[in-house]
Structure 1
Amino acid sequence: MLDLHQIFSMQKKALFFLFALCALGWGFTPYQSIFLGIGLGAFFGTYNFWILVRRMDKFDSSISEGKRVVSLGSALRFGSGVAAVAIAITLPQYFHLVSTVIGLMIPYVFLVIGAIVYSVKNK
């Protein structure tokens, strides 16, 4: 199985393509707020996944050293999700709220798709 750092690096590559698609959609379609919302949500979703990767490293090192187990940062990730939604609510002329929430879930969708592709390749 791939480790979390490899998954995160693959996700970063996929998300750069998503950001490019959002930029093109923002520039060439009348749905600018939807594409900005998806981009904002994907940015905060990627930040949340980065926090998870970093905290999992600390968790693994704490377990291997026999130290007290630290938190996995759920409150920080929840807070950044709330921040993304707060930005979308505060600036509705720029960011579409529903697309921002969908964008928050995109890194996790990429995670599931990556796991499926990996399992199909190695069967």
Structure 2
Amino acid sequence: PDNSVAANLAVWYQQERRGEDEGETWLKDLRQWWRRTGRQLDLPIDGVSGATRAPGTHTISLDTETSGLKDLEPGDYVLNIEAVREVGGREMVQIPFSWPAATDTPLSVSGETELGDITLNITQDE
């Protein structure tokens, strides 16, 4: 509710060295992420940063004990997904959710230009 950043879950960008920190140079184009938290971080972020992935379907699985979700207080949150292409568009979508989730209900949103269908599945520990 206070619009603070609770956790960084994944940041994908070019990590190969073609020039000194060349991939990190473009992270500021992820405008919302950069303004809210990115510029304050030391990159790469262990367990969060990863190489850019090709277009397609991707899955990110996070365990509450080993991810930024470990210390997440109960409450209402928004998952922000932001994408930028080098010579292309930019898009950000949001999925509001409550933590901890009452049921295993998937939450979905669809992008219009750079992002396709995105589903957030929060499952209960068994």
TM-score of the two chains, using structure 1 as the length reference:
0.22
Please tell me whether Structure 1 or Structure 2 has the larger radius of gyration of its CA atoms: 1
Structure number with higher relative contact order (C-alpha < 8 Å, ≥ 6 residues apart): 1
Greater helix content: 1
Which structure's residues are more often strand, by fraction? 2
